[in-house]
Chains A and B, each alone.
Chain A
Amino acid sequence: MGKAIHQREGAVMILGGGIAGIQAALDLTELGFYVYLVEKAPAVGGVMAQLDKTFPTNDCAL
């Protein structure tokens, strides 16, 4: 994602960058919208990034 521009048509704000927010952001960009993913922590990923076995490689494609 590029740097946020203040005025933008077709933008959506997603509050929370866990697995839910990330997936919604990925789908929306693919559907042709610009996304502001707003996350309170210093990194996205949420709780899923803390999990061990379910997803050993937790790279997200943002």
Chain B
Amino acid sequence: MLTNADLLALNGTPGNFTATVNLRPRYIDADACTACGLCTQYCPRHHVDPYNEGLAITRPIHIDYAQAVPATYYIDPSSCLFLQHGTCQICVPVCQSHAINFNQKPEERTLNVGAVILSPGFGKIDPKTLARFSYGKHPDVVTAFEFERMTTASGPFQGEIKCFSDGRHPKRIAFLQCVGSRDIGCNNGYCSSVCCMYAIKEALVTKEHDPEVDITIYYMDIRTQGKDFDAARDRAEAIGIKFVRAKVADVTPWQNRLQLTYATLDGQHKFEPFDLVVLSVGLESPKDARKIADITKIDLNRYDFCATDSFNPLQTSQPGIVVAGAFQGPKDIPESVTQSSAAASLTAASMKSARGKGVEVISYPDEQKVGATEEPRIGVFVCHCGINISSVVDVAQVAKYAGDMKNVSYFTENLYSCSQDAQEVIKKKIKEHNLNRVVIAACSPRTHEPLFQETLRDAGLNRNLFEMVNIRDQCSWVHAGEPELATIKSKDLVRMAVCKARHIQPLPEQTVPVTSKALVIGAGVAGMTAALNLADQGFDSVLIEKSDSIGGNLRHLHHTLAGDAVQAHLQNLVAKVRASKHIELVCNAELAQTAGFIGNFSSVIASGKGADKVEQTVDHGVIIVATGGREHRPEKYLLGKSKKVVTQQELEKQLAGKGKNRAPGSVLMIQCAGSRGDDLQYCSKVCCNHALKNILKIKELNPQSQIIVLYRDMRAYGFAEDAYLEARKMGVVFIPYEVDRKPEVTEKGAKVQVRFFDSIMQEEVIMSPDLVALSVGIVPDDTDTLSKLLKLPVTANSFFLEAHVKLRPVEMAVSGVYVCGLAHGPKPVDETIVQAQAAAAKAAIPLVKGYVKVDPIVSSVEQDKCIGCGLCVSLCPYGAIVMQKVDGKRKAETISASCKACGICAAHCPTFAISMGGFTNEQINSQIEAFGDRAQVTAV
């Protein structure tokens, strides 16, 4: 990890690049800094805090936030008195660990790398663009980034929302969408794709803070096209957040408030006063985009984002260099995370031969045997955490108190238990006093338990012979005003931990070998891309397809909105799949049965029909689900009844054909046909762009064609906004309709008639177009069967539900199963390809390792006590418990590799037959008993 670092040069070819990086000095020795914060307290100079969007003041010597990685302070040279004027240096003697070093100089490093991933993120909109909304002129106009810091509990105002002008709490707040996006005035013609979501999120958070506050969101289109995002908008509307379709022209100060001027769809001019105005600013290309392009020689698009194409969405114009995240185009967190995994798999494939050569293997000394009967010898270390704990809790008293307890062979205090030298002390004391249990009372186990467990392993102790007490978060922080009670509570917690520690036992480190093969279900673009990527990384897969040919929905598409030809790519893909020696393709096949767990699945594949039906068993380590989806065909608007009513997919086919009059003279398109609260509850993400794609094609073939689009929100997100603008420039008419006034399509002889309410003219209109094109949604292909077979959860809309919607977007709750493509949710082809590559990355991880590590805290069943009721099996959310016949009786058994150690089974077992590693009933009971027994210490 090289922070404070700038890329200066990049030379060479794929597999052999040389990068020159400049490391700017932090002026603080990262290894010595304990992040105590004393230096910031003593530093006399003010510094505007960029981390808090300039809403707070910090000091030149600071850390951005407590959890920053690396957890080292730094000096911002732009305002440091010594670095600017050669005076001061107060911080140097203040620092107890002598970490401050003004002699640090910039350092140039040369890195030899085989590949490069560009993920520089995004830039911010120029304040000049915001000036017409009075930003910079009136303190109560803020950007959404500033507002985010304001609402944050850990932010500069502890989550208190106030007007900067006079500190009052705002009663009326306006959000202005599309500031610096969809705005050719500042050359940002594209849609930033995230602002609608974050505005709704911030509005919801604000309502949580103050339910009385009145919030209005001014928008052109609400673009919540992501998976289940529309639900958030509905939730916002339900709690009274107002949505007004209007572009706000300006914001001007009015008395002590701000006045918005805007025009509504029906042509009315309106004025509205607000206390606080939040600008939903867009994402721009990174500030140094051109510099990066110059150094790496990659091409940028017209908006200075990285240029890529629909079928290689992450490949830059330079081989060996891929892109991920917002630099590829504005996008949200889950898509950035997905792209990153995809970029990792592309890089891993391109550098297959170098895999494993650069990684250090950490080795540990042999583990000392600690028997169950051996007398516990507990060491207790109580941490000051600088002054974080010791300024409130009497640390010496807590340590002494622990020292008086039975079985405690050693106790001490540490200034910083987490520091490097403290680890050495802990190891030394373990040896010296022959300790076989360690209790550390310090900060949060969430952040520091792994570190201390490493130290135990280094000292030859099993890492589970460890108990951590959080006397910082739970004592000194929350009871800062009551030091005595905080000290008593610290003693209580330490006593409980020591009592539990008497009963803890070493737990074995288990690993399970992995069968190096994948099963990929579904041979559409997602499944094929995933299997090919795995093949490129050197792994075999069995690719099964239920129909007799491969290609899925791609067979029905002809070109993408960006203009790339689909069929050529599809043929290329199919040829590669058929030629690959790593892919075994089975058509007319479906999954009949699957048993096992991550690394060790065994599946029965049924293929062929009737008498030719055969079954084969395949052993594999991972599963990629790419079962796809299909066009939803609503029984509405005469679809299927009139030849003049078609879906966008059918229209695309017609336009790609050879018919003479394939581009009709007048076309009316109806968006959201059957979607968003109709047959389907959700937005299908692709339909708006599909309509735009067909519109441009019609106009190309027949420029005279008259096209009207009836829509609810045109969701031309990202660079597709360009196509939307182009269509409007060509004279295509876009008219929004309301849910309670949907268009009606009827048959009038040989013609179709469409009746709709024109919200711009404010009147009812009747038309007879040559063709009606319906933008219908996407439904998943039978996810039900597979969901039961593999125990995979699905959403309310029957798409597969990922393990974590933001941070684990392609993994499933069941270990070893990954999802991509339409089976996960509606999405266009480029996003499907990225997701397939990401699924391949995640699936390759266990295959690369060759084993799966099992966390020792998993559950285990004492089969003598098990009565075979099966309650645990039905409750386990991960499919990690199975029933087995043992001597003719039903007994439960944990599949350790699938268990996530949640403890649900143990809590529900009626006979206490199930226990969790490290949290046995005995251990928890002793902890609870110790809680109620303050006298215990003196008793022993």
Contact A13 B116 (CB under 8 A): yes
With the chains together, A40 CA to B68 CA distance in Å? 14
For residue B326, which residues in chain A have a CB less than 8 angstroms away from its CB?
20
Render B338-362 as a binary contact track against A, CB cut-off 8 A, 1 for contact: 0111011101100100111111100
Contact B340 A27 (CB under 8 A): yes
Q: A29: shortest Cβ distance to chain B, in Å?
A: 7
Residue A23 contacts which of B67, B72, B341 (CB distance < 8 angstroms)? B341
Contact A21 B117 (CB under 8 A): yes
With the chains together, A24 CA to B345 CA distance in Å? 9
Contact B358 A33 (CB under 8 A): yes
Contact A11 B119 (CB under 8 A): no
Render A30-62 as a binary contact track against B, CB cut-off 8 A, 1 for contact: 111110111111111111111111110111101
Chain B interface bracket (under 10, 10 to 19, 20 to 34, 35 or more)? 35 or more
Q: B372: shortest Cβ distance to chain A, in Å?
A: 33
Q: Which residue of A lies closest to B151 (CB)?
A: A52
With the chains together, A43 CA to B65 CA distance in Å? 9
With the chains together, A15 CA to B357 CA distance in Å? 21
Asked whether any CB of chain A lies closer than 8 Å to the CB of B114, the reply is: yes
Contact A23 B340 (CB under 8 A): yes
Asked whether any CB of chain A lies closer than 8 Å to the CB of B741, the reply is: no
Contact B324 A10 (CB under 8 A): no
Render B52-80 as a binary contact track against A, CB cut-off 8 A, 1 for contact: 01000000000111011110101000000
Q: A11: shortest Cβ distance to chain B, in Å?
A: 5
Q: Which residue of B lies closest to A14 (CB)?
A: B117
Contact B358 A8 (CB under 8 A): yes
Report which residue of A15, A22, A32 has the largest number of chain B beta carbons within 10 angstroms of its beta carbon. Answer: A15
Contact B848 A30 (CB under 8 A): yes
Q: A18: shortest Cβ distance to chain B, in Å?
A: 5
Given A20-B340, A33-B355, A49–B65 Cβ distance below 8 Å? Answer: yes
With the chains together, A37 CA to B17 CA distance in Å? 15
* Interface-located stretch among B104-112, B375-383, B746-754: B104-112
Asked whether any CB of chain A lies closer than 8 Å to the CB of B336, the reply is: yes
Residue A13 contacts which of B3, B19, B152, B205 (CB distance < 8 angstroms)? B19
With the chains together, A17 CA to B284 CA distance in Å? 18
Contact A59 B845 (CB under 8 A): no
Residue B841 contacts which of A31, A34, A47 (CB distance < 8 angstroms)? A31
For residue B205, which residues in chain A have a CB less than 8 angstroms away from its CB?
52-53
For residue A36, which residues in chain B have a CB less than 8 angstroms away from its CB?
2, 19, 21, 111, 113
Q: B115: shortest Cβ distance to chain A, in Å?
A: 5
With the chains together, A39 CA to B286 CA distance in Å? 13
Which label, helix, strand, loop or mixed, suits the secondary structure of the A interface?
loop
With the chains together, A55 CA to B332 CA distance in Å? 13
Q: A13: shortest Cβ distance to chain B, in Å?
A: 4
Report which residue of B3, B19, B21, B806 has the largest number of chain A beta carbons within 10 angstroms of its beta carbon. Answer: B3
Residue A60 contacts which of B19, B69, B841 (CB distance < 8 angstroms)? B69
Q: A62: shortest Cβ distance to chain B, in Å?
A: 6
For residue A16, which residues in chain B have a CB less than 8 angstroms away from its CB?
118-121, 325, 327
Contact A12 B842 (CB under 8 A): no
Contact B17 A13 (CB under 8 A): yes
Contact B64 A49 (CB under 8 A): yes
Q: Which residue of B lies closest to A30 (CB)?
A: B845
With the chains together, A27 CA to B810 CA distance in Å? 13
For residue A50, which residues in chain B have a CB less than 8 angstroms away from its CB?
51, 53, 145, 148-149
Contact A12 B117 (CB under 8 A): yes
Contact B3 A41 (CB under 8 A): yes
Q: B282: shortest Cβ distance to chain A, in Å?
A: 13
Contact A44 B69 (CB under 8 A): yes
Contact A38 B344 (CB under 8 A): no
Contact B354 A54 (CB under 8 A): no
Contact A33 B348 (CB under 8 A): yes
Residue B116 contacts which of A2, A12, A31, A48 (CB distance < 8 angstroms)? A12
For residue A15, which residues in chain B have a CB less than 8 angstroms away from its CB?
7, 116-120, 292
Residue A10 contacts which of B4, B114, B340 (CB distance < 8 angstroms)? B114
Asked whether any CB of chain A lies closer than 8 Å to the CB of B5, the reply is: yes
Residue A2 contacts which of B3, B4, B360 (CB distance < 8 angstroms)? B360
Contact B845 A27 (CB under 8 A): yes
Contact A10 B69 (CB under 8 A): no
Q: What are 14 of the A-B contact pairs (CB < 8 Å)?
A: A4-B2, A10-B358, A11-B358, A13-B115, A15-B117, A16-B120, A20-B326, A24-B343, A28-B344, A33-B354, A34-B359, A42-B3, A44-B3, A49-B68
Extra contacts besides A21-B340, A38-B7, A45-B69 (5): CB < 8 Å = A23-B341, A28-B344, A32-B356, A33-B354, A49-B65
Lowest 6 A-B CB distances belong to which pairs? A20-B325, A34-B358, A10-B354, A27-B344, A23-B340, A10-B358
